[in-house]
Structure 1
Amino acid sequence: MWTRREAVAGTITALATACSTQSTPQAQTLSATGALAPTGKLRVALIASNPVLVTRRPDKSLGGVSVAIGNALAAHLGVPVELKPYDNPVLYNESLAFDEWDIGLAARDPSRAEYLAFSNAFMEVDNGYVARPGAAPTTAEEVDRTGVRIAVAQGSAPNAVLKRLIKNAEIVPVPGGFEPAREALATGTADVYGENLHLAYRIADALPGARVLPGHFNVVQMAIGVRKRAAAALPTVDEFVNKIRSDGTVQKAIVEAGLRGVRVP
């Protein structure tokens, strides 16, 4: 039977052991780094055709919100960054099945959940329509009517949403990016183009007579997609996202990219 002194000593030993094995913030970050960047660098997938996420600088290098966040996360983890741009959402979606990258900065899309676990949203994006000159719809609510053709980037988050929402209009998939969108409206292939409002305004600015319709059909949450193998690191990623939302990092990137129709959650 234990004496009082032995019981106290045993309690102290147990507490010391618990404290020594308790994970510190530094240890958590170190563990997350190993999970997120197993090659020793953080490979960041980008959808280059989405101007809300990626912009092209005059020297052709990549910039924008997702690049700023990818660089900031790599610095937070203490590893180099490697940007892995994909020309459109279809190519990004196809890459999900291969070990070409560690995190993806894109929409929190349920169709990608087989491969990814998603962080808290770092940015919210309104999705709406830009109409070609002379098109009948005058608001977003009037688009889902028989005879209306809706162009949308194939494989994109707006495409997935519209496939669920639209009951009467015709959906016309086109390649992602500014030029295919503008072309679909300029040639009359579609009556409206459904996308983030920033791109919608750019198209309206470039196509005389085109107009952005009042209203929106969805709000997209942009998040960091973490490979399922690294899902245990998600609390560290969420902590990082909360920090860059509150310290102005995301807002600064939004302003520098000149984005419209987006906001920090």
Structure 2
Amino acid sequence: MVPRPPSSDLVSTFAPGGVLRASINLGNPILAHRDAAGGEPAGVSVDLAREFGRRLGVPVEPVAFERAALSVEAVRAERADIGFFAVDPARGEGLRFTAPYVLIEGAYLVPEESPVAANDEVDREGVRISVGAGSAYDLFLTREIRRAEVVRRVGAPRALAALRAGEVHVAAGIRQLLEAEAARAGGVRVLPGRFMVIRQAMGVPAGRGAAAQELLGSFVEEMKANGFVADALERHGVEGAIVAPPD
């Protein structure tokens, strides 16, 4: 079945200025990065944004941020029209989310000589865990960690650097990113398994209304069902992420 084109009112709701501003979080390298040739944002998130803009019949303007928290705030404040976020209760205010389109594993990185061997051994008295401030991992650990200390750094690279510098005992982040860090230089290892699953979804400012959320949600479900998301993951060489099941 060919999708019904959105009404002109809905197009105006999503792109009141005639351009769809898409908030892109470059802090999640699985889904977005800068193109090596021209430095422009590229990746799965950008592909989805451009396809949604094509459906609306409007040009797309990627608005790139280095951290998730900045990307979220841009949409919440309506400085962007859509965004790509990890779903988390702490981000609900001011936003309307779709169901997830991709699932990503969150993991822990520890020094090679660390006695910690499993995820359930991390939350102990005296343990310091570094994490990118405002990331999905930060929000999750803030709720779940009871005994260890969560140490926030601006961006994932600084969270990893804190572990290398001996300032913390554990670093939390995207499994793929942590595995790349372990492969880059010895002395650290990724704990087996995962401590959380990140549900990556699309979102709009809450003020755009339920109809906008419904249209964006239908788009996400179609992109999962027709293979667009899977093809984008393969095209960009993404490992460590899977297409989310149907809503």
TM superposition score normalised by structure 2: 0.91
Contact 2:111–2:169, Cα closer than 8 Å, also in 1: yes
Q: Does 1:187 align with 2:136?
A: no
Contact 1:182–1:207, Cα closer than 8 Å, also in 2: no
Following superposition of structure 1 onto structure 2, how do residues 75-90 of structure 1 map, counting pairs within 5 Å? 75-90=54-69
Distance in 2 between residues matched to 1:241 and 1:162, nearest whole Å: 28
Aligned counterpart in structure 1 of residue 50 of structure 2, from 53, 57, 71: 71
Q: Which AA in structure 2 matches 1:214?
A: P
Q: Any gaps of 5 or more consecutive residues in structure 1?
A: 1-23
Contact 2:25–2:68, Cα closer than 8 Å, also in 1: yes
Partner of 1:11: none
Partner of 1:224: 202
Contact 2:78–2:205, Cα closer than 8 Å, also in 1: no
Partner of 1:158: 137
Q: Which AA in structure 2 matches 1:256?
A: R
Q: How many residues align?
A: 240
Which structure has the bigger radius of gyration?
1
Partner of 1:172: 151
Q: Does 1:249 align with 2:246?
A: no
How far is 1:92 from its partner? 2.6
TM superposition score normalised by structure 1: 0.85
CA RMSD of aligned residues (A): 1.7
CA-to-aligned-CA distance 1:40-96 (integer Å, 9 cap, x gap): 111000111111221222122221111111111111111000011112123234435
Q: Does 1:25 align with 2:4?
A: yes
How far is 1:199 from its partner? 1.3
Runs of 4+ in 1 over 6 A off after TM superposition: none
Q: Which AA in structure 1 matches 2:175?
A: L
- SS in structure 2 at match of 1:240: helix
How far is 1:250 from its partner? 0.9
Larger mean CA deviation between 37-46 and 95-104 belongs to 95-104
Q: Does 1:109 align with 2:83?
A: no
- SS in structure 2 at match of 1:25: coil
CA-to-aligned-CA distance 1:177-223 (integer Å, 9 cap, x gap): 3x313311211112221112121212211231211101211111111
Following superposition of structure 1 onto structure 2, how do residues 101-140 of structure 1 map, counting pairs within 5 Å? 101-140=80-119
Between the aligned residues of both structures, percent identity stands at: 33
Distance in 2 between residues matched to 1:192 and 1:259, nearest whole Å: 25
Q: Which has the larger share of helix?
A: 1
Q: Does 1:261 align with 2:240?
A: yes
Larger mean CA deviation between 153-162 and 133-142 belongs to 133-142
Distance in 1 between residues matched to 2:32 and 2:236, nearest whole Å: 9
Aligned counterpart in structure 2 of residue 213 of structure 1, from 191, 205, 223: 191
Partner of 1:200: 178
How far is 1:112 from its partner? 2.1
Distance in 2 between residues matched to 1:259 and 1:185, nearest whole Å: 25
- SS in structure 2 at match of 1:250: helix
Q: Does 1:53 align with 2:35?
A: no
Partner of 2:213: 234
CA-to-aligned-CA distance 1:155-191 (integer Å, 9 cap, x gap): 11110100111111111101113x3133112111122
Distance in 1 between residues matched to 2:146 and 2:70, nearest whole Å: 27
Q: Any gaps of 5 or more consecutive residues in structure 2?
A: none
Contact 2:100–2:201, Cα closer than 8 Å, also in 1: yes
Distance in 1 between residues matched to 2:127 and 2:68, nearest whole Å: 24
